[in-house]
C-alpha cells in the first residue's frame, strides 16, 4: 500500500500472496481439504510455516500486517484448514522460544474459552482470552473429543491458568484482521463458484443466473464482501503504522467480514440447490468453514465491545 487510500498490495504483498496461492494450488486442492475433515493438517501447516507465513509479524519475520493479510486472502480463497488465526495471535503473546516453535509449525495452538476448545485434541499450547487479557493454560483433565458441524476437531476440558500473557488487544487486532481477510476471500471464492454455476445451470430454458432472484443476492454478497476485504486491508495498514484506532478498525473488519461471509454461505446454498448442502458437493467444504470461523473463539463479542467502547457505549 503506497498511501492511506490505496488498498492495493505493493510488490512485496503481491509476491507473498502469489507464493501462498501457489502453495495452495500445489498442496491444498478441494479433495485434500475435504479429506482432512476432523484431522489436523500437519503436513500443510509445515509447508505454510516453511514459507514463513506464521512469522510474518514477529521479530524474526520478514513482513508485517499488510503482508499477512495478503497471505490470509490466498488462504481464504483455498479454504486452507487449521487454527490459522489462533497461530497468528499466539506469535504475538508468547515468549521467544514458544513463539519460534509456533511460527515454525512445531506446536499446535488451541485458542478458546473452556470448556470447549478448538483443535484441543492436537494442541500443546492453550490460550484463553478473558476481559482483554490472555492466559496460558493447561488442561486439568483428559480432553474429551468433540465433533463440530464445521468439521474441526474440538475438545472439552477445563484449563488451569499458568501464566498471564498480558494485554491481548494488539494481538486481537492482528487476529481479527487476519480472520476478516480470510473470511472475505472465502466468501468471494464462493460467490465466484456460485456465479459460474448460475451461468451454466439451465432451468426453464435459460441459465438460472438470468433470474433476478438468483443474480441479485449474489451481487449483494459481492458488494458486501468487497467492502469487508477493503476494511481488512485498511485495518492492516492502521496496525502497521501504529494508529490509535487499529483495534477498532480490526474489530469492524471482522464483524463486517463474518456477516458478509455467512450471508454468502446461505446464498451459495440457495444458488446450488441440493448440491450446496451435501458433504460431497462442490461448495459445502467452503460454507462449513465460513460458518465455523464466523463464531470461532474468541467470538465476535470482544470485537463488538471494542467498537461500542470507541463510541462511549
Q: Report the interhelical angle of 169-200 vs 84-91 (nearest 10°).
A: 160
Q: Supply the mean pLDDT for the chain.
A: 93
Residue that wins the pLDDT comparison between 2 and 185: 185
pLDDT tens digits along 275-303: 777 777 889 999 999 999 998 888 788 88
Angstrom distance (rounded) from CA 245 to CA 239: 8
**Count of C-beta atoms within a 10 Å radius of residue 168:** 23
pLDDT tens digit sequence for 19-64: 999 999 999 999 999 889 899 999 999 999 999 999 999 999 889 9
Share of the chain above pLDDT 90, in %: 77
pLDDT (tens digit per residue) in 202-223: 788 888 887 898 999 999 999 9
- Please tell me the pTM assigned to this model: 0.94
- pLDDT above 50 for 3: no
Largest separation between any pair of C-alpha atoms in the chain: 65
Q: What is the mean pLDDT of residues 259-267?
A: 97
Query: What domains can you pick out in the chain, each with its CATH number?
Result: 170-310 (1.20.140.10)
* 136, 125 contact by CB (below 8 A): yes
Q: For residue 105, what pLDDT is reported?
A: 95
CB atoms within 10 A of CB 94: 24
Q: Please, what sign has the CA dihedral across residues 95, 101, 105, 111?
A: negative
- pLDDT grade, residue 5 (50/70/90)? low
Q: What is the mean pLDDT of residues 112-129?
A: 96
> Residue 82's closest CA among 144, 139, 126, 38?
38
Amino acid at each position: 500500500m503506497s498511501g492511506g487510500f490505496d488498498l492495493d498490495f505493493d510488490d512485496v504483498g503481491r509476491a507473498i500472496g502469489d507464493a501462498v496461492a501457489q502453495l495452495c494450488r500445489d498442496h491444498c486442492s478441494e479433495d485434500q481439504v475435504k479429506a482432512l475433515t476432523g484431522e489436523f493438517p500437519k503436513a500443510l501447516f509445515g509447508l505454510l510455516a516453511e514459507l514463513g507465513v506464521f512469522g510474518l509479524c514477529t521479530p524474526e519475520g520478514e513482513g508485517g500486517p499488510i503482508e499477512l493479510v495478503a497471505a490470509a486472502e490466498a488462504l481464504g480463497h483455498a479454504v486452507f484448514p487449521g487454527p490459522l488465526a489462533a497461530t497468528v495471535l499466539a506469535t504475538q503473546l508468547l515468549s521467544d522460544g514458544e513463539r519460534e516453535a509456533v511460527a515454525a509449525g512445531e506446536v499446535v495452538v488451541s485458542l478458546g474459552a473452556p470448556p470447549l476448545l478448538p483443535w484441543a485434541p492436537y494442541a500443546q499450547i492453550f490460550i484463553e482470552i478473558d476481559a482483554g487479557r490472555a492466559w496460558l493454560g493447561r488442561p486439568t483433565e483428559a480432553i474429551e473429543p468433540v465433533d463440530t458441524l464445521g468439521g474441526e476437531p474440538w475438545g472439552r476440558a477445563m484449563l488451569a491458568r499458568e501464566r498471564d500473557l498480558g494485554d491481548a488487544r494488539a494481538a486481537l487486532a492482528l487476529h481479527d484482521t487476519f480472520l476478516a481477510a480470510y473470511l472475505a476471500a472465502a466468501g468471494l471464492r464462493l460467490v465466484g463458484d456460485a456465479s459460474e454455476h448460475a451461468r451454466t445451470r439451465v432451468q426453464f430454458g435459460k441459465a438460472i443466473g438470468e433470474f433476478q432472484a438468483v443474480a441479485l443476492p449474489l451481487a449483494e454478497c459481492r458488494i458486501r464482501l468487497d467492502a469487508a476485504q477493503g476494511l481488512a486491508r485498511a485495518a492492516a495498514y492502521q496496525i502497521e503504522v501504529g494508529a490509535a484506532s487499529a483495534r477498532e478498525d480490526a474489530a469492524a473488519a471482522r464483524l463486517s467480514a463474518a456477516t458478509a461471509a455467512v450471508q454468502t454461505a446461505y446464498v451459495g446454498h440457495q444458488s446450488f440447490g441440493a448440491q450446496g448442502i451435501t458433504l460431497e458437493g462442490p461448495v459445502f467444504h467452503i460454507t462449513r468453514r465460513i460458518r465455523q470461523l464466523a463464531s470461532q473463539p474468541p467470538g465476535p463479542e470482544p470485537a463488538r465491545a471494542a467498537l461500542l467502547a470507541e463510541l462511549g457505549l
